Homo-oligomer: A and B are copies of this chain.
Amino acid sequence: MMKMKKESDLIPPHYRIVNISREIEQKGIKIIHMELGDPELDTDKRIIDTMYEAALKGHTHYGDARGLPEFRDAVSRYLNRRLKLDLTRDNVCVVPGSKSAIYMSLKTLADGPAKVGVVEPTWGIYYSFIRDLGYDAIPIRLKYENKWQVREEDLKDIGKLDFIAVINPSNPTGVVWDRESIELILEKATRDDAYLIADEIYFELIYSNKKFISFMHYNYEKTVGLYSFSKTFAMTGFRIGWIASYDKDIINRIARGYQLLLTNVPEFIQYAGIKATDLDDVIERNRGIYMERTYFLVNGLKRLGFEFVEPEAGFYIFSKVPNPYNDSYQFALDLLHKARVAIAPGTSFGDYPGFIRFTTALKIETLKEALKNIEEFMKS
């Protein structure tokens, strides 16, 4: 049970950066937001128009927590087409963002206090949820030296797990996992009969020629795949994504959790999602934009002496904290106050006080301004 009196324990540090930056902004000072994964990009008008038409047609009522049959057909067809899978509507369920999907999966699938293997660096929200639910978090720590891939040594001395939580392509490192990484995790999950929560929300945004291998390609029944419109289609504020699993019972249990808590995702928003699944041109365009921005920031930060494994996907750079800093939170705070640039400290992604995460999905002119501010700060 959550004891929110201590909610400061639960909130990943980058949310503290978010909240401090909002306070600064209320004084009229401009902050450049590189701490959240919110692209500076508009949602395609065809998506918004479809939402509007659906609302006018009366899709303004309570609905099935699993989602509209039309939505479930659309997203399963989309995954089948893009990832060569074989899903039906019964294998998917709409969710109001992948954050809640992680929470609902952990909450509704466990039989009791669970052991959750968290492959890190990862999105720190996992630790918040695991603590909230009274579960045990077991970090599986990947190494910078291994370019953040999973290697056998990383799984040594990890006891039996009930869940394994992974993100591929990775947030925060931007690395795309190789087959060895995927299969090591799958073997561990199979051995332990553990649920595998596989966040694959960046799979459309790969810039290297490395091939994406979905965990859903393997018919491991206890995999829960997480997908989202937020990044691919610049729809962060719509709060919509979906989960997929070959086990229909998993889908139904998670859906019942949502039915209790939230009833359903607005159906007019589901229609926006349905439209998006048809817009491959938007995927291509947005991938191009994100790639340009990512490489622009990669080159800019390299020039300033930042060290990191170069991202191949998504829109983050997970860099070492520059000397003489050794505390990423202090560095993030100083950068916020002095350079007016908000970034996420490495402690938001596990035990990485020596790292920081930059979001690259901002306009080139915003990135230029951020680099200028950072450069001045570094010299001072």
Contact = CB atoms under 8 A, between A and B. Distances in A.
B238 A60 contact: yes
A181 interface: no
A260 interface: yes
Please classify how large the interface on chain A is, using the bins under 10, 10 to 19, 20 to 34, 35 or more. 35 or more
Interface stretch (A35-43, A168-176, A315-323): A35-43
A2 interface: yes
B107 A262 contact: no
Given A11-B259, A262-B239, A60 B36 contact: no
Contact of A4 (B103, B237, B256, B263): B256
Nearest to A64: B22
Nearest to A103: B261
Contacts of A29: none
B4 A107 contact: yes
Interface stretch (A47-55, A183-191, A209-217, A298-306): A47-55
Contact of A133 (B1, B56, B109): B1
Interface in A1-37: 1-5, 7, 10-11, 15, 22, 36
A10 B260 contact: yes
Given A2-B108, A7-B253, A256-B11, A235 B60 contact: yes
Contacts of A43: 55, 60
Contact of A266 (B10, B237, B257): B237
Nearest to A134: B1
Number of identical protomers: 2
A100 B261 contact: yes
A60 B236 contact: yes
Contact of A62 (B38, B256, B263, B267): B38
B2 A257 contact: yes
Interface centre among A4, A52, A234, A268 (most CB of B within 10 A): A4
B45 A56 contact: yes
Interface string A109-150: 111110000000000010011001110000000000000000
A360 interface: no
A200 to B, nearest CB: 19
A113 to B, nearest CB: 7
A287 to B, nearest CB: 19
A226 interface: no
A59 interface: yes
Given A96-B262, A239-B264, A266-B239, A253 B4 contact: yes
A275 interface: no
A260 to B, nearest CB: 6
Nearest to A2: B107
A367 interface: no
Given A43-B60, A107-B2, A237-B61, A7 B256 contact: yes
A56 B60 contact: no
A97 interface: yes
A248 interface: no
A111 B238 contact: no
Contacts of A253: 4-5, 7
21 contacts: A1-B133, A3-B112, A4-B108, A4-B110, A42-B60, A43-B60, A48-B55, A48-B56, A51-B55, A59-B237, A96-B262, A97-B262, A99-B261, A99-B262, A99-B263, A125-B260, A128-B260, A129-B260, A238-B266, A239-B265, A239-B266
Given A48-B52, A48-B60, 17 more contacts: A1-B107, A1-B134, A3-B111, A4-B109, A7-B108, A7-B257, A15-B259, A42-B60, A43-B60, A48-B56, A52-B55, A61-B237, A103-B261, A128-B260, A237-B267, A239-B262, A239-B264
